[in-house]
Amino acid sequence: MLDPPTPPERTPEALTLKRETIEIAFLTVIQLLTPQQRAALILCDVLDWSTKDAADLLEISVSAVNSALQRARARLRERLPSHKPAWPASVDASAAERDLLKKYVEASEAADFRAFESIIRADATFRMPPEPGTAAGREAMFKVWVEGGFGSERFGRLRCIVTHANLQPAVAAYVRRPGDSTWRALALDVLRIEDGLITEIVTFMPDTFPLFGLPILMDPSPEMNTCH
């Protein structure tokens, strides 16, 4: 839901900081911190407060802030991707990104794992906040999907809409179960793309759809437009 900074914050340094600290990966990982660690990290590393100012606000000692920061930074190093791509000059999707998203939509709607293999990197990760676990690797990701019924007749059919979330490409999926005539919101997949391949998928529950102006129930017409 976050947009790029607006003037006077639109300097290269400010823009980079904003983008770095609103990535889905960062926002997800900080949920694993304790409240005190999370507060210290946001105040000092995101908002650039001094440890003294942070200590005054949190009503704890400076040493406690430093301790919370050390633990929070260590947790982030463990969980955040080790390789981070450069942010593009524009948040608008490139032709290559649009083509990749089209392939992702087609693979999702067809439950085509072979097609997914061609667009998802072998070491990609998959997460479903607020669940703490991470599927590390494409095969582990597929295993989670199959265990959830994806691709089976009982799971139903998917229809997808392309959107963006936190400056990253995203795909909203609707499902129509066997015997049902209505497409129902299923999940919002937020994608990280590096070097033309998907390297991370973070999936959010359908209660996020209204935040993006997406309906929970979709017109039952089979000719639903998949690219918005």
Q: Which position has the higher pLDDT, 5 or 34?
A: 34
Thinking of the domain 12-79, which architecture would CATH place it in? Orthogonal Bundle (1.10)
Q: How far is CA 185 from the centre of its chain?
A: 17
CB neighbour class for 210 (10 Å; exposed up to 12, middle 13-18, buried from 19) = exposed
pLDDT at 168 over 90: no
- CA nearest 158: which of 212, 210, 112, 204? 112
The percentage of the chain sitting over the pLDDT mark of 90, rounded to a whole number, equals 55
pLDDT of residue 225: 42
The percentage of the chain sitting over the pLDDT mark of 70, rounded to a whole number, equals 79
Q: Taking residues 179-190, what's their average pLDDT?
A: 94
Mean pLDDT of the chain: 82
Cα separation, 192 vs 199, whole angstroms: 6
Predicted confidence band at 226 (pLDDT cuts at 50, 70, 90)? very low
pLDDT of residue 190: 93
User: Which residues touch 193 (CB under 8 Å, ≥6 apart)?
Assistant: 85, 97, 100, 169, 199
Q: Which position has the higher pLDDT, 136 or 20?
A: 136
Cα separation, 151 vs 55, whole angstroms: 52
- Residues 188-204 have pLDDT tens digits of 999 999 888 999 999 99
Q: Taking residues 90-103, what's their average pLDDT?
A: 76
List the single range of 83-97, 179-193, 199-213 with lowest mean pLDDT. 83-97
Beta strand pairing call for 120-127 and 157-165? unpaired
Thinking of the domain 95-218, which architecture would CATH place it in? Roll (3.10)
pLDDT at 85 over 60: no
Predicted confidence band at 96 (pLDDT cuts at 50, 70, 90)? confident
pLDDT at 163 over 60: yes
- Residues 27-82 have pLDDT tens digits of 777 878 899 999 998 888 878 889 999 999 999 999 999 999 999 888 887 776 65
Q: Which position has the higher pLDDT, 160 or 220?
A: 160
Enumerate the H helices of the chain as residue ranges.
12-20, 24-29, 35-41, 51-58, 62-79, 95-110, 113-119, 138-147
DSSP 8-state code for residue 164: E
| Amino acid, res. 5 | P
- Write down the pTM of the prediction: 0.65
Separation of first and last alpha carbons in the chain: 16
- In the chain, where the domains are located: 12-79, 95-218
